[in-house]
Amino acid sequence: MHVPDGFINAPVSVAAGAVAVGAVAVSLRGARRELDERTAPLAGLVAAFIFAVQMLNFPVAAGTSGHLLGGALAAILVGPYTAVLCVSVVLLMQGLLFADGGLTALGVNITVMACVTTVVAYAIFRGLAKVLPRGRRSVTAAAFTAALVSVPAAAAAFTLLYAVGGTTDVPLGKVATAMIGVHVLIGIGEAAITALTVGAVIAVRPDLVHGARGLTAPLKLRVGGELVDAPATPAPAPAAAGSHRKLWAAGLVTSLILAGFVSFYASTNPDGLEKVAHDKGFDKGEKEHDAADSPLADYGVKDISNTRLSGGLAGVIGVGVTVVAGSAVFWAVRRRRDGDGTESGPASTATDDVTAVTATSATSATSVTKPAENA
């Protein structure tokens, strides 16, 4: 759904840019409460992962494809404020290096793809989390639903901006129907990717999933036929740090493989916005990208004739640049938080206790329940 230059007129693009700047400023401040020494590196990785998966267009209808937007995924993994920054970093890298999404439309893209998706998805996710039973399956189900709704919501936001500042005269009702209709289908793919990714991370390190904090039911042990709360025995710090590094390395390798190799098999059909713009005729206002001569324009490396090699190398470069840029931003935010004395919320500590108990529960449960069984 990357909006190119020329779809939206200058006044509305400037207004959207002002909204985007304000949202990023608020997110920089809010992210201080979300990021710590564990989650800051994960946030940079989330940005790189979103970049990689956005290269994997999947078919959704005849002649149409879709790709991950990423707002829901990032919000659930690292928090809503940090999510806006993650997607904004991705959009900035794509616009500057790969000529994907207009530079004058950067504010429009951040507003639609970073802000709207994040706000809508996280509101739905938190609402479902309050009514569903606490547990991994509920978190995954809530993530699926939130991601599903966030995509057509972004399509509706674009339609609203186009209604105010569209550069071509087309029937608004037809644009709205086509945009929202095709993006409901794209939302199914977004929901599947989001749920699978969130579920995979929860299975390994639930304490690193922002949306899962406080949602895990306390561990119980059976003592003398009664269930009691398990003792909160701290997990060994080196093991936790090692697990964190392994997760980060696995995520980075996965991102590189997706961008460098799996992207070969991505659909070449136009995405939802491109298809609707062509069918309804408002692509006539599109202008050439200011970075069209970039060495990495259109996700290929200039002067490399082999298409697969060129695209794969561009993807690997994109992942590398995004993880470095994202990590630098989130490291700076965390340093600022440490400098002004901001503390992370209490939910983090509670979740750490649950995770620590889980690491030692098997042995404790065995030692407590075996005598009861023998008796």
Which amino acid appears at position 169 of this protein?
A: D
| Helices within 117-262 (DSSP H only) | 117-131, 136-165, 172-204, 237-260
What pLDDT is recorded for position 184? 96
* Of residues 184, 182, 185, the one with CA closest to residue 274: 182
Question: The pTM is what?
Answer: 0.84
Residue-range domains of the chain with CATH:
10-374 (1.10.1760.20)
Place of tokens 């490399």: 304
Which amino acid appears at position 192 of this protein?
A: A
Q: Given pLDDT bands bounded at 50, 70 and 90, which one contains residue 371? A: very low
> Over 90: is that where the pLDDT of 311 sits?
yes
Q: Given pLDDT bands bounded at 50, 70 and 90, which one contains residue 340? A: low
Least confident among 17-26, 196-205, 340-349 = 340-349
Which amino acid appears at position 72 of this protein?
A: A
- Bridge partners of 227? 222
What pLDDT is recorded for position 351? 37
- pLDDT per residue as tens digits for the range 138-169: 999 999 999 999 999 999 999 999 999 999 88
* Of residues 129, 35, 47, 31, the one with CA closest to residue 80: 31
What pLDDT is recorded for position 15? 97
Least confident among 8-22, 234-248, 357-371 = 357-371
Residue 71's contacts (CB-CB under 8 Å, 6 or more residues apart) are: 83, 84, 87, 113, 114, 115, 116, 117, 118, 120, 121, 150, 154
Tokens of 76: 């659930």
> Over 80: is that where the pLDDT of 224 sits?
no
What pLDDT is recorded for position 318? 97
Q: Given pLDDT bands bounded at 50, 70 and 90, which one contains residue 229? A: low
* Of residues 209, 53, 35, the one with CA closest to residue 139: 209
> Over 80: is that where the pLDDT of 71 sits?
yes
Place of tokens 């709207």: 116
Euclidean distance between CA atoms 37 and 338, whole angstroms? 10
Euclidean distance between CA atoms 149 and 146, whole angstroms? 5
Least confident among 37-41, 52-56, 107-111, 134-138 = 37-41
Q: What is the mean pLDDT of residues 14-43?
A: 93
- pLDDT per residue as tens digits for the range 90-140: 999 999 999 999 999 999 999 999 999 999 999 999 999 999 998 889 999
Provide the angle, in degrees to the nearest 10, between the axes of the packed helices 237-260 and 307-340. 150
What pLDDT is recorded for position 220? 60
Euclidean distance between CA atoms 128 and 144, whole angstroms? 11
Phi, psi of 365 (to 5 degrees): -65, -40
Q: What is the mean pLDDT of residues 337-351?
A: 50
Tell me the average pLDDT of the chain: 85
22 within 8 A of 70, measured Cβ to Cβ: no
